[in-house]
Amino acid sequence: MSEQSEHFGEPVEVAPGDEGENSLFTRVLGYVVGLVLALLLTATSFFIAGTDLVWQPSIPVAIIVLAIAQMGVHLVFFLHITTGPDNTNNVLALAFGLLIVFLVVGGSIWIMSNLNQNMPPMDQIMRMQ
């Protein structure tokens, strides 16, 4: 759904979610398309999780793919984070936030794994008490 707007008399491509100063109808249409896509992805996730029509070992992968698509829809249609030159700071802030989340999650998994490997067996713990 790319639309064209006039920029100094020349048609300019407008990315989804980057409607900017266009008419109210265009902006509302962007939100409605985002809502429909989000609802469709959510319904598909619930369908895949609750059906026997999908090969069972592939369900977690399908849910992860749909979740990533859902995040993309929210970033583009609702948060208006696009690759336009005026969104550079938004993209950098998003990248920094993702880095922090990955560091916290990765560090937590690493610490829990290290603690699990260095934990004495349960019968030894019971003898210490």
Mean local confidence (pLDDT), 46-61: 93
Q: What is the mean pLDDT of residues 55-80?
A: 92
pLDDT of residue 68: 93
pLDDT the model gives residue 46:
96
Band (pLDDT 50/70/90 cuts) for residue 2 is very low
Provide the whole-model pTM: 0.64
DSSP alpha helices (H): ranges in 51-121? 59-73, 88-118
94-112 CB burial, b ≥16 within 10 A, e <16:
eeeeeeeeeeeeeeeeeee
Per-domain boundaries in the chain: 1-82, 84-129
- Cα separations in angstroms, 110 against 89, 102, 114, 115: 31, 12, 6, 9
pLDDT above 90 covers what percent of the chain?
Answer: 47
Q: How many residues does the chain have?
A: 129
Quick one: pLDDT at residue 31? Answer: 92
The answer on pLDDT for 43 being more than 60 is yes
Residue 77 · residue 37 · CB < 8 Å: yes
Query: Cα separations (Å) of 113 from 48, 62, 117?
Result: 31, 27, 6
Largest CA distance in the chain: 83
Q: Is pLDDT at 73 greater than 50 in this prediction?
A: yes
Band of residue 129 on the pLDDT scale cut at 50, 70, 90: confident
